[in-house]
């Protein structure tokens, strides 16, 4: 029996120390070359928005934030 656990994109964000924000279950991560690769790896539907704080680009990843993972830390 194969018990290999498949990581979620949020688990990788936490492990790699990528800055993030969230609203409800939507995960926001900066739009960077490394994060472009990460989002493509998971083939996740995403949109890009401009931060109202500093004008930088961020990914909006619906249903990718998991508060239970944060509570375990």
For 11-69, how does the pLDDT look when each residue is reduced to its tens digit (9 = 90+)?
A: 999 999 999 999 999 999 999 999 999 999 999 999 999 999 999 999 999 999 998 88
> Among residues 21, 25, 63, which one has the least CA distance to residue 42?
63
Q: Does the pLDDT of residue 1 top 70, yes or no?
A: no
H helices present in the chain, as ranges: 9-16, 33-42, 67-72
Rg (CA), the chain: 13
pLDDT at 18: 98
* Assigned token pair, 23: 């609203």
Can you give the residue ranges of every domain in the chain?
21-72
| 3 state SS of 54 | coil
Tell me the backbone φ, ψ of residue 49, rounded to 5 degrees: -135, 160
pLDDT at 6: 84
| 3 state SS of 48 | strand
């Amino acid at each position: 029996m194969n018990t290999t656990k498949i990581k979620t994109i949020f688990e990788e964000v936490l492990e790699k120390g990528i800055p993030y924000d969230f609203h409800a279950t939507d995960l926001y991560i900066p739009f960077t070359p490394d994060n472009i690769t990460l989002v493509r790896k998971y083939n996740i539907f995403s949109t890009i928005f401009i931060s109202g704080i500093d004008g930088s680009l961020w990914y909006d990843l619906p249903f990718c934030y998991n508060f239970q993972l944060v509570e375990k830390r």
